[in-house]
């Protein structure tokens, strides 16, 4: 059982081992094949010689005409085998009586016993006697004696020099294998180190990235093809990190700024009020103004908390089935009087049934409408169009398009409109309308539902389109 | 009406007590959970305002211990953390309502009154009246000084809310939630516009003015003589 993940072995070590093992296996197989064929070659040579001698002996035996002549065999044999070192011959009568024996050592009985085995004259029998190895064959040879039983001929050759050659060969082979493995291992180690040098370089570069220097990127062109993708992914990751990091730090500084203005108002106002004695009316005035300011602050805090929760994935939408158009209608009812006062017409078209969190979506659309209402000039119109859209991939989304007449928002602003505290017109910051969190909340609610919102400029109008997955698809 | 406040934050506790006393309640204030539990067990309160985070014994435990011995007075939780878990836990333990800090005092007062009203069986009225303003709930008709006033459905609902809770300052968020079912904080002045329109019909042509704006808090409807 392992406790926790084990660290993977270093790539250099792995490659080195791999090289060494591979070359060992290859060298070993090669060596064994060579050894086997040399051995076979030796055996073939021996067999050719033994077969030739056997032929000779058969020839000699065929010329023997009477048992008496058998006695003359040794001399003839010695003549025949003169000068053949390492060759031993024995001829036995059918009864097992040795007619002739040359060279060292006796033949083992096992060899003679093989004489009835088919093929014993072609397949050698190897044995050891007095520290000398022999390879021998056994065969019967007919004599020229009429009705005479064939004699048994055993032939063997001393294979000591073959053996010693093979031993030396195997020693060399093993040394070569071991040496070769070591050498390739070492070469492999060098190759791996050299090959991995770009990785170390990347590591060095990556080590230079810090919160203060998030703009650093890895050089994609300078790294080998194999690493280019990795470098690109890392760069993408860095870009995303940089973006979120920047947003976060912008957000903190915006937050501080947003809080500073009302707090400093409150402080100044209160301190001025306290600096001398005033009428009850004047005190009331200050307290009332403070109460309004506090209410704004408190609303900002709860909005911020909502956004913080949504950032941490803690917004879990409930699910009930309803029509988005009905929610828009309810919101139109709510904002109706205000719109009428401003001389703005509200119009609703279509329908879009969803299964979602009704309260959250009401808030999302409400923020959007309140924003639209704020920027629609008198005499303008806000049109909400609800519809379902089936895209190429076959998934259906419920959509609401809210179009309000007004100066088109430049696309540079449009993209950032849903960021926290972002306002198109920086001067509007302290005009008292909202704190610039409404649209950010709208977006986070839609995203929590798996949808999103997008804005685009129309002709003399702005269009905001929000969508969430439709009821049937999101039910799974 | 006797209310017990258990709140360890000194300023919050003091102002809550002052506010509720001035609203006409009989208020006891303690600073920690043990004292709260002790008083809650020994005295008879009509309502408990309980902070969740308390030294010694936290709000959950106080509530649990009180419910265990059968004390069933309504409990309003105050919490600094707006997490669903906290809410669910509080409601499961038998809290009747909760408020997330920071909250408007008007909101707290409105909730306290709602909770206290819940206990007493309110007999269904078919007409509401203040000064010379009359609301006929059955026929959905409004008259003032004998003259018929035409209101839209929402204007009627708003006036009914103000009349039912006359003398109470109703915060904008409560009005939005009760009349339009809008439970989010809207930063537009929708409620102001709605109230202004209602006033134009109900108050402007008449004397005395009944609907009053309490700046920084909300709106209240009352006959001037009672103020």
Place of tokens 């629609």: A376
ipTM field: 0.73
Q: Are B62 and B6 in contact, with CB atoms under 8 Å apart?
A: yes
One domain for residues A330 and A373: yes
d(C-alpha A69, C-alpha A43), whole Å: 35
CATH code where residue A44 lies = 3.30.450
Q: Answer with the one of A168, A184, A208 that is the final residue of a domain.
A: A168
* Band of pLDDT at residue B27, cut at 50, 70 and 90: very high
In chain B, residues with a C-beta closer than 8 Å to the C-beta of A303 are 185
Place of tokens 């390492």: A86
Return the residue of A nearest to B193 by Cα: A338
Contact: B187, A359; criterion CB under 8 Å:
no
Please report the beta strands in A182-259, taking only residues with DSSP state E, as ranges in sequence order. none
Q: Which of A289, A331, A434 sits opposite B187 (nearest CB)?
A: A434
CATH code where residue B95 lies = 3.40.50.2300
One domain for residues B84 and B131: no
One domain for residues A423 and A349: yes
Query: For residue B13, what are the domain limits?
Result: 2-119
Contacts of B1 (CB under 8 A, 6+ apart): B24, B25, B26, B46, B47, B116
CA distance A338 to chain B (A): 6
The number of domains in chain B is: 2
One domain for residues A288 and A329: no
Interface membership of A308 toward B (CB under 8 Å): no
Q: Are A335 and B188 in contact, with CB atoms under 8 Å apart?
A: yes
CATH code where residue A347 lies = 3.30.565.10
Strands A320-323 and B97-100, sheet pairing: unpaired
Q: Answer with the one of B119, B152, B175 that is the final residue of a domain.
A: B119
**Considering only CA atoms, which of A380, A375, A475, A465 is closest in space to residue A425?**
A375
Angle at A36 between CA A32 and CA A38, to 5 degrees: 115
One domain for residues A44 and A95: yes
One domain for residues A290 and A324: no
Interface membership of A349 toward B (CB under 8 Å): no
Say whether pLDDT at A384 is over 90.
yes
Q: Which of A291, A314, A316 sits opposite B217 (nearest CB)?
A: A291
> What's A247-267 look like in SS3?
HHHHHHHHHHHHHHHHHHHHH
Place of tokens 């379902």: A388
User: Three-state SS for A399?
Assistant: strand
One domain for residues B86 and B140: no
Residue B53 gets which letter from DSSP? S
Mean pLDDT score across all residues of chain B:
85
One domain for residues B12 and B105: yes
Domain contains A298: yes
Angle at A309 between CA A308 and CA A311, to 5 degrees: 65
**pLDDT tens for residues A242-259?**
888 887 787 788 788 888
One domain for residues A307 and A324: no
User: Three-state SS for A53?
Assistant: helix
**Which residues are A93's β-sheet partners?**
none
* Band of pLDDT at residue A430, cut at 50, 70 and 90: very low
CATH code where residue B211 lies = 1.10.10.10
* Band of pLDDT at residue B227, cut at 50, 70 and 90: very low
CA distance A291 to chain B (A): 5
d(C-alpha A447, C-alpha A51), whole Å: 94
d(C-alpha A101, C-alpha B166), whole Å: 142
pTM exceeding 0.90: no
d(C-alpha A62, C-alpha A58), whole Å: 6
| Residue to test with chain B: of A315, A316, A318, A337, most B Cβ within 10 A | A337
One domain for residues A93 and A142: yes
**pLDDT tens for residues A101-153?**
776 556 777 777 777 777 777 778 888 777 778 888 888 888 777 777 788 88
| Residue to test with chain B: of A338, A344, A371, A444, most B Cβ within 10 A | A338
- pLDDT at position A134: 83
**Considering only CA atoms, which of B14, B3, B218 is closest in space to residue B110?**
B218
In chain B, residues with a C-beta closer than 8 Å to the C-beta of A434 are 187-188
Q: Answer with the one of B64, B90, B119 that is the final residue of a domain.
A: B119
Domain contains A214: no
A to B CB pairs, distance under 8 Å: 74
Query: For residue A147, what are the domain limits?
Result: 11-168
Q: Per-residue pLDDT averaged across B30-36, rounded?
A: 90
- pLDDT at position A434: 58
Say whether pLDDT at B34 is over 50.
yes
Contact: B185, A337; criterion CB under 8 Å:
no
One domain for residues A286 and A327: no
Contact: A333, B180; criterion CB under 8 Å:
yes
One domain for residues A442 and A385: yes
Interface membership of A337 toward B (CB under 8 Å): yes
Contact: A338, B193; criterion CB under 8 Å:
yes
Q: Per-residue pLDDT averaged across A316-323, rounded?
A: 87
Q: Are B210 and B131 in contact, with CB atoms under 8 Å apart?
A: yes
Domain contains A181: no
One domain for residues A37 and A100: yes
Strands A151-158 and A132-141, sheet pairing: antiparallel
CA distance A377 to chain B (A): 16
Burial of B178 (0-12, 13-18, 19+ CB in 10 A): middle
One domain for residues A46 and A109: yes
One domain for residues B8 and B113: yes
Q: Note which residues in 431-450 of chain A have CB less than 8 A from chain B.
A: 433-435, 438
Q: Answer with the one of A277, A311, A345 that is the final residue of a domain.
A: A311
Say whether pLDDT at A168 is over 60.
yes
Interface membership of A288 toward B (CB under 8 Å): yes
One domain for residues A372 and A470: yes
* Chain B contacts to A (CB-CB under 8 A): 82-84, 100, 102-104, 154, 176, 180-190, 193-194, 197, 215-217
Contact: B180, A337; criterion CB under 8 Å:
no
Contacts of B121 (CB under 8 A, 6+ apart): none
The answer to whether the bond into B63 is cis (omega within 30° of 0) is: no
* Band of pLDDT at residue B187, cut at 50, 70 and 90: low
Q: Which of A305, A314, A370 sits opposite B186 (nearest CB)?
A: A370
d(C-alpha A342, C-alpha A461), whole Å: 17
**pLDDT tens for residues B110-165?**
889 888 887 665 556 778 888 888 888 888 889 998 889 999 888 999 999 999 88
């Amino acid at each position: 059982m392992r406790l926790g993940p084990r660290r993977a072995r270093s790539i250099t070590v792995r490659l080195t081992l791999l090289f060494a093992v591979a070359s060992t296996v290859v060298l070993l197989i090669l060596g064994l094949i060579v050894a086997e064929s040399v051995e076979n070659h030796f055996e073939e040579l021996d067999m050719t010689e033994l077969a030739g001698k056997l032929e000779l002996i058969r020839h000699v035996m065929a010329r023997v005409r009477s048992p008496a002549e058998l006695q003359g065999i040794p001399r003839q044999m010695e003549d025949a085998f003169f000068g053949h070192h390492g060759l031993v011959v024995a001829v036995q009568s059918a009864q097992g009586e040795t007619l002739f024996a040359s060279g060292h050592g006796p033949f083992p009985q096992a060899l003679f016993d093989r004489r009835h085995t088919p093929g014993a004259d072609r397949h050698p029998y190897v044995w050891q006697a007095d520290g000398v190895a022999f390879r021998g064959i056994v065969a019967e040879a007919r004599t020229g004696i009429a009705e005479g039983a064939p004699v048994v001929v055993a032939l063997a050759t001393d294979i000591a020099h073959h053996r010693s050659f093979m031993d030396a060969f195997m020693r060399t082979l093993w040394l070569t294998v071991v040496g070769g493995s070591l050498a390739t291992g070492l070469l492999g180690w060098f190759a791996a180190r050299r090959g991995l040098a770009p990785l170390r370089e990347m590591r060095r570069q990556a080590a230079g990235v810090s919160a203060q220097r998030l703009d650093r990127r890895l050089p994609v062109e300078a790294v080998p093809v194999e690493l280019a993708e990795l470098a690109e992914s890392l760069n993408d990751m860095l870009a995303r990190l940089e973006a979120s990091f920047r947003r976060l730090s912008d957000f903190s500084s915006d937050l501080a700024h947003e809080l500073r203005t009302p707090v400093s108002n409150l402080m100044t106002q209160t301190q001025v009020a306290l600096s001398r004695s005033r009428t009850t009316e004047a005190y009331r005035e200050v307290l009332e103004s403070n109460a309004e300011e506090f209410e704004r602050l408190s609303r900002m805090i709860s909005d911020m908390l909502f956004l913080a929760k949504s950032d941490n994935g803690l917004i879990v939408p409930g699910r009930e089935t309803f029509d988005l158009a009905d929610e828009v209608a309810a919101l139109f009812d709510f904002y109706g009087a205000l719109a009428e006062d401003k001389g703005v017409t509200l119009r609703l078209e279509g329908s879009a049934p969803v299964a979602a969190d009704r309260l959250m979506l009401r808030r999302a659309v409400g923020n959007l409408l309140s924003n639209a209402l704020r920027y629609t000039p008198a005499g303008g119109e806000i049109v909400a169009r609800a519809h379902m859209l089936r895209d190429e991939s076959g998934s259906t989304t419920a959509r609401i398009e809210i179009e309000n007449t007004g100066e088109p928002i430049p696309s540079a602003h449009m993209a950032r409109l849903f960021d926290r505290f972002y306002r198109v017109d920086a001067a509007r910051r302290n005009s008292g309308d909202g704190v610039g969190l409404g649209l950010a909340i709208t977006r986070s609610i839609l995203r929590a539902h798996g949808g999103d919102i997008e804005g685009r400029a129309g002709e003399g109008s702005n269009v905001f389109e929000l969508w969430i997955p439709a009821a049937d698809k999101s039910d799974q | 009406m006797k209310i017990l406040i258990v709140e360890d934050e000194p300023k919050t506790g003091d102002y809550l007590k002052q506010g509720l006393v001035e609203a006409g309640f009989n208020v006891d204030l303690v600073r920690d959970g043990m004292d709260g539990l002790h008083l809650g067990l020994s005295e008879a309160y009509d309502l408990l305002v309980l902070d969740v985070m308390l030294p010694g014994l936290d709000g959950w435990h106080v509530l649990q211990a009180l419910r265990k011995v059968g004390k069933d007075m309504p409990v309003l939780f105050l919490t600094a953390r707006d997490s669903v878990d906290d809410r669910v836990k509080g409601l499961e333990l038998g809290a009747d309502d909760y408020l997330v800090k920071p909250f408007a005092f008007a909101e707290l007062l409105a909730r306290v009154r709602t909770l206290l009203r819940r206990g007493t069986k309110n007999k269904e009225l078919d007409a509401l009246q203040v000064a010379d303003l009359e609301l006929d709930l059955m026929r959905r008709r409004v008259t003032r000084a004998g003259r018929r006033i035409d209101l839209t459905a929402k204007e009627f609902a708003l006036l009914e809310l103000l009349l039912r809770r006359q003398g109470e300052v109703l915060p904008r968020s409560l009005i939005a939630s009760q009349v339009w079912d809008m439970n989010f904080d809207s930063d537009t002045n929708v409620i102001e516009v709605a109230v202004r329109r209602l006033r134009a019909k109900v108050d402007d042509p008449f004397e005395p003015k009944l609907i009053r704006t309490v700046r920084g808090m909300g709106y209240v409807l009352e006959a001037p003589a009672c103020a």
